[in-house]
């Protein structure tokens, strides 16, 4: 049975009082629909966790971290595009998208994990 997963990263915003950018991640996976706000650092933790758990297997790359100028509109839009590519590449890897790590990333408070 083929599963239809759909994911998207969009809506970059600087939260009130925050000095960082957050992105809305939404989609449909084996647990149904989800929508969650994530920071770049959350994506980095997810990828690092995958690298540790699945050594030698393909893990899509993330855009590089940037400390200066990381809130310029052009940079934020490019990063959002690249994070969107990252999440869509994950969807092509069943061993990643069906993992408990990904489920925690999109549903951190799910008691069934």
Six-digit token string for 13: 């915003």
Share the mean pLDDT of the chain.
Answer: 86
Q: What is the mean pLDDT of residues 4-23?
A: 87
Name the pTM for this structure: 0.86
Residue with tokens 């966790």: 49
Is it the case that residue 12 has pLDDT exceeding 50? yes
Domains, the chain: 6-106 (3.30.1520.10)
Give the start-end residues of each E strand in the chain: 6-13, 22-29, 32-39
pLDDT per residue as tens digits for the range 23-61: 999 988 777 888 999 999 999 999 999 999 999 999 999
Gap between the Cα atoms of 36 and 106, Å rounded: 6
């Amino acid at each position: 049975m083929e599963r239809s997963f759909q994911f998207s990263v969009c809506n970059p915003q600087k939260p009130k009082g925050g000095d960082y950018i957050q992105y809305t991640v939404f989609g449909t996976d084996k647990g149904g629909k989800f929508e969650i706000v994530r920071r770049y650092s959350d994506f980095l933790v997810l990828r690092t966790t995958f690298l540790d758990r699945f050594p030698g297997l393909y893990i899509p790359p993330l855009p590089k971290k940037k400390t200066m100028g990381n809130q310029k509109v052009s940079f934020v839009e490019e990063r959002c595009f690249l994070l969107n590519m990252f999440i869509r590449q994950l969807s092509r890897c069943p061993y990643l998208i069906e993992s408990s790590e990904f489920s925690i990333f999109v549903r951190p408070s799910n008691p069934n994990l």
